[in-house]
Structure formats: structure tokens, C-alpha cells
Amino acid sequence: MAVLNWASSRAATLSSCPRTAALVVITTWLLYVIGLAVYRLYFHPLARFPGRKMAAVTTWYEFYYNFWYGGKYLFEIEKMHKEFGPIVRINPHELSIHDPEYYNELYVGSSKRRTNFWPLFQGCTDDTDVNHFMTIDHDLHRQRRKPFDPFFSRMAINTRYWPMLAEKAVFLESRIREYKGQGKAVRLDRAFSAFSADCIERICTDDLEPGDGFLDQPDFGPEWYDGMLGLIRNAPILTKFPKALSSLGYVPQRLLLWLFPQGRIANKYDERTRTQIHKAVTKQHLFKDTTSSEHTTLFRALAQSNNLSPADKTKERLVREAKLIFLGGTISTGRTLSFVSYYILSRPDIKIRLEDELRDVMAAWPEVVPTWTELEKLPYLQAVIKEALRLSYGFMRRLPRVSPDVAIQYKEYTIPPGTPVGMSAYLMHSNPEVYQDPDQFVPERWLGGDTRVMQRSYVPFTRGSRSCLGQNLSMAEISLVLAMLFRPDGPRMELFETDESDVKHVHDFVVPLPKLDSLGVRVMVR
């Protein structure tokens, strides 16, 4: 009782003296900050790992480079590796490894060990509503991903979806040819993203109205594409303050859209997605067998899946899955296609050699469509694609993995269980010890000779149990579009006010981006 009386009297004293109360609060906060810094530097399980002291003390160090300089922390990590070696501590909780020989030891299959996800958005620790990609727990991720696999397998692409991809490629060509003689430039990055968006939507749903695709929109829907890029550029804020995203629901929508105009596009697509999910869930009773029905779509299969719990089949969670599939299957593939198109159009030697190789296989296009297998057998086409994926990176940022149960050994370092460890495709693909002149676009490096060392370091889709779900679809789309555009009878395109700085990735906003004032890859159709 005496203690309570003393505490009450002290509280009364502090409340009657605001300056004293403020001093106590500030002193307590400073002691906490100092104590936390001392713990992280000297007593934390990662204290003995090399790296910059400031990075070990606070996540604000990473935020500073990503927010103030625009997605530049990746390049600071590169400098750290040059300074401290192949393993460095890049923030209070996380390690980065730069060693091509270790990649397959970190990104492993389920048979070797369980692999948990380290949230891209710090603070997202609840698996309840997140999509399968961001599901933390290994077993739950495996369960949630399983229904997707049949829709993105090689067999599905080769048989079920190849005619649809060809149909969309024909439409893409016709839309590009509409610009012939118009004196107006085509934004290829927008066109390719619209193509990828239409393809992924056809896999997800069959309820779209004619003329409702992204390829149908004037100029390929610039407000949608630019809005998506605007949201992507907010990645530093979202990764540092993940709870801010959920709290936006309490802000009046009119005020929110005034502050963030890009949100209008997100809202439109959110409504579009919810409509398709609602139709899929509503119609699921019409199609009892999702494995054999010719009407099967991804959304409908998810709504019916026996592998998913009822909680995982709520409309809200299916909407989150749909957004992931759409964004992951659109922007990345679209940007890779515009990236490689720039180099083909700016390098006559590449364009001529590609046309020669495509001459026979594309002679009767579009009446006769080559198979994906036939396109994969064209060595120069595939070399061009590989080099494009090497320099466009796919997912530029490190992708941390967590071994929840067992320690991981890297040379003399024992990494404690539960520690996020990441490796970056950018560092793997830019290694001068593996790739001669790594910043140069040289498709010939993949032709002839022994390419095993390069193949080992080539990871545009990552590896292991959490490798990219859509890699088969992406490779098929890229192969088909390049074959269509750069065959001898393809559209005659010339670069318009576009140079290498419009495609060279210099910002890591989760999705790699070139200079922020770039107007994209623009061409005139002759």
C-alpha cells in the first residue's frame, strides 16, 4: 500500500510539473535507445558478424538510403560486401551473403529443410490474411501454393494456355501496327505490361467482357501502368511502416485520394478484382471437378480447393492472392520485354541475327504458331532472353530466407535458427568473376563453351521451395512476343528519344526501376 501511495504521489508531482515529466520521458527514451544500441552491437546473436555499426544498430539506416536516395540501399550492401567480405550484417536482424557457391545451400527445396519467409513489410507477422508469397510459415506456404501449381506448370502453358498467349500476341501486334504513320510514339513498357496483364487475367477468370482487356485501352492504359509504378515507388515507406497501410482504412477516402492520386488506380483494380472473385465464388457450384472441367479458372479452382481451409478461401484473402498474381505477372515481365527490346532495336547486329534465326519458324505467322518448345530450340533467341533476364534481374532486392528449426553453417559462421539471410540476384548477375564485362548486354556469352559457372549464378526466378511461381508463364510470354515482333515481317520499329538510361535499373523499389524521370521505351512504327 505504501508503494502505491508513493507512486501516486510521484505521478501527481510529475503531472503538476510538465517540464519534469517531459525530462523523465526524454531521459527514459534516451536510456532505452542507448541500451538497445549496446545490446545490438555487443550482445545480440548477430553481434559477431561483420558489417557497419550503424546498420547493426538501427533499421533507419536502411530506410535512409531507400527513402532519401530512392531505393539505393542495395548498392550500399554491395559496398559492404567489398569492405567486409561475403557475409555482412545489413540491419539489426538480417544477414546478406554474396557467394554464388552458397546460393543452393540457402534457397533449398522442402526435402532439405523448412524455409520460412522474412516479411518484406516488417511487422507483418500474422499469416491470417496475407497472400501465399508472404506467408511466413513453411508448411502453410506450401499448402497455400499447391493449388496454384497446376496453372503455371510447363504442361499447362504448353497445352491449355499457348493458344490464348498466341491470340493475345496477335492482338498486341495489331495494336502496335495501329501507330504506323500516326506520328505518335508507342510506349513499349505499357504495351507489354498490358499484354501480360491480359494473359494473367485470362488464366485467372473467364468472366471478362469483350473489349475489357488492358490491350483494348487507348495507349494501353497509361493511367493504370503509371499508377502502378507510382505505388511501387512508395515501397520504402511501406516496408518501414507496414502498419500505416492498414491504418489508411480509417482515413476518409476523398482525403486519401487527394493526398495519393495513384490510389484511384489501385481502387479501380481492387473493384475489378473483387468482382471477378465474387463471380468465381458464386459460380463454383456449377463446376464440381476443377481438375477436368474445361471451364476451370484459377480463381474458381482456389474457391473450390480441398487443400485450402475455409479461412483461406474467404473473398478477402482470395482478393489478396489475385492482386499478387496480377502484379507479379504483369510489371516484371512487361519491363523485361521493354528492356530487351531496347537492346535489340539499338543494336542492328542483334536484330539482324535474331531475324535470320526466326525466319523459318515464324514464316507462316499467325496462321501457323510455333510451339514454345520450338522457340526454346532457337539458340540465339534464348541467349538474348537469358541476357535480358540477367541484366533486368527479375527481383532485384535480396530475398531473405529463415531456417526456423536448425542453424545454418556458412564457412566459419554459424547462423542461429530464426535469422533472416538473403542473397541478391543483382549481386549474383553482376559478379565480374563470373560474367566478363557484367554491365554489358552480350547474348553471345551464352553460346558455346562451358557456361556452367554462369548458369550457377543465374537466378532471375530464385530457387528452392519459394521460387517464382510464374517463371514458366514469363518465359513463354517473352519467347513468343520477341519472336512475333522481331521476325523478318514484324512491325518496323525505331527507338524514339530513348537511350540506355531508360532501361538501366538504378533504383530498387522491390521492383527494379531506371531513372525516375524516364519516359519509358518509346518507338515510332514505320
Question: pLDDT-derived band of residue 450, with 50, 70 and 90 as boundaries?
Answer: confident
Domains and CATH numbers, the chain: 143-525 (1.10.630.10)
Q: How far apart are CA 493 and CA 525, in angstroms?
A: 5
pLDDT in tens, 457-500: 999 999 999 999 999 999 999 999 999 999 999 999 999 999 99
Residue ranges in 459-522 assigned as alpha helix (H): 471-485
Residue ranges in 347-446 assigned as alpha helix (H): 348-358, 372-376, 379-392, 425-429
Cβ neighbors of 145 (< 8 A, separation 6 or more) are: 132, 469
With a pLDDT cut of 70, the percent of the chain lying above it is 88
Strands 420-422, 95-97: pairing is parallel
Please give the residue that has the higher pLDDT: either 208 or 16: 208
Whether the per-residue pLDDT at 292 is higher than 90: the answer is no
Q: How far apart are CA 124 and CA 135, in angstroms?
A: 10
Q: Is 17 annotated as a binding residue?
A: no
Question: Looking at residue 293, what is its pLDDT?
Answer: 43
Please give the residue that has the higher pLDDT: either 228 or 477: 477
Q: How far apart are CA 393 and CA 512, in angstroms?
A: 8
Whether the per-residue pLDDT at 4 is higher than 50: the answer is no
CB 220 within 8 A of CB 192: no
Whether the per-residue pLDDT at 261 is higher than 70: the answer is no
User: 3-class DSSP state for residue 496?
Assistant: coil
Residue with cell 509504378: 229
Question: Looking at residue 17, what is its pLDDT?
Answer: 74
pLDDT in tens, 127-166: 566 888 889 999 999 999 999 999 999 999 999 999 999 9
- Which pTM does this prediction carry? 0.91
Whether the per-residue pLDDT at 247 is higher than 70: the answer is no
Q: Mean pLDDT for the chain?
A: 89
CB 139 within 8 A of CB 114: yes
Residue 228: alpha-carbon gap to chain centroid: 13
What's the average model confidence in pLDDT over 240-262? Answer: 67
Please give the residue that has the higher pLDDT: either 103 or 222: 103
pLDDT in tens, 65-74: 999 999 999 9
φ, ψ of residue 509 to 5 degrees: the values are: -105, 50
User: 3-class DSSP state for residue 413?
Assistant: strand
One-letter amino acid identity for 345? L
Q: What is the signed CA dihedral for 234, 237, 238, 243, rounded to 10 degrees? A: -140
Whether the per-residue pLDDT at 21 is higher than 70: the answer is yes
Query: Count of CB atoms within 10 A of residue 73's CB?
Result: 22
CB 130 within 8 A of CB 320: yes
CB 195 within 8 A of CB 172: yes
